Amino acid sequence: MRAIPLHHIVVFLCLLCASLALAAASAAGLALLPLGDFRGVLVVLAGVLLLYLYAFVVYRLFLRLLPLREGEVAPGSQHELIANVNMLFYLLLFNSLVRSHVVPVPLMRLVYLALGARLGTNTYSAGALLDPPLTRIGSNTIIGHDAVIFAHVIEGERLELKAVVIGNTVTIGATAVIMAGVHIGDHAIVSAGAVVTKDTRIGAGEVWGGIPARRLRAAPGAPVEL
């Protein structure tokens, strides 16, 4: 894994400080309201909530100006700056939401949408989407408990970003791992605990499982392999 350059950390800290300043100013305004005996507790809780809300806004504005794109990330490039700032946001701020199981699953849908994931209607995740801007999931799909979906490849010094695309009415079992570049067709099933390696293509209606994942059952109507 590459070391994150100091100037990338400085960029992230500037964005984080902007979020903190906005949250502190808003919380200070709330402190002026007649909130009763629990004013201190309410102001602190509001400050934490506002920090995350402003961080979402700052993060999305950053990615609007400098989009996180797919492809190999060259050392010293602007692409590396964007990828590292994105990584720092997750490691130091958003990971506490994504991996803590504190936020209810229906609300996590809103969190992932706020972070840039593309989720169809009635799609929910009880697992972790580690790269929401590069995660695209159709409608009526469920991501099982503690499943992990990520769109980055780290191999020694090499870093690459590849979107994960999942279709409609797909079931991802509990604790399954979906790696970068995976495409999953409509109505497919990935069994619990499966590890779908990078760039795998799972066809519509297929059932996959195992470590590494392989096809267990073909789609209905598909020719039988002898």
Do 89 and 197 have their domain in common?
Answer: no
Number of domains into which the chain is organized: 2
DSSP 3-state assignment of 59?
helix
pTM: 0.85
pLDDT per 10-residue tile (average), the chain, 226 residues:
90 95 86 70 82 94 94 94 95 86 89 94 94 96 95 92 96 96 95 96 94 86 49
The pLDDT value recorded for residue 224 is: 47
The pLDDT value recorded for residue 220 is: 65
Which of residues 63, 98, 133 is at a domain's end?
A: 98
Do 172 and 195 have their domain in common?
Answer: yes
The backbone region for 22, taken as left when phi is positive above 0, alpha when psi lies in -120 to 50, beta otherwise, is alpha
Contact status, residue 68 vs residue 84, Cβ threshold 8 Å: no
The backbone region for 52, taken as left when phi is positive above 0, alpha when psi lies in -120 to 50, beta otherwise, is alpha
Do 43 and 142 have their domain in common?
Answer: no
Structural domain of 84 = 1-98
Which of residues 77, 98, 119 is at a domain's end?
A: 98
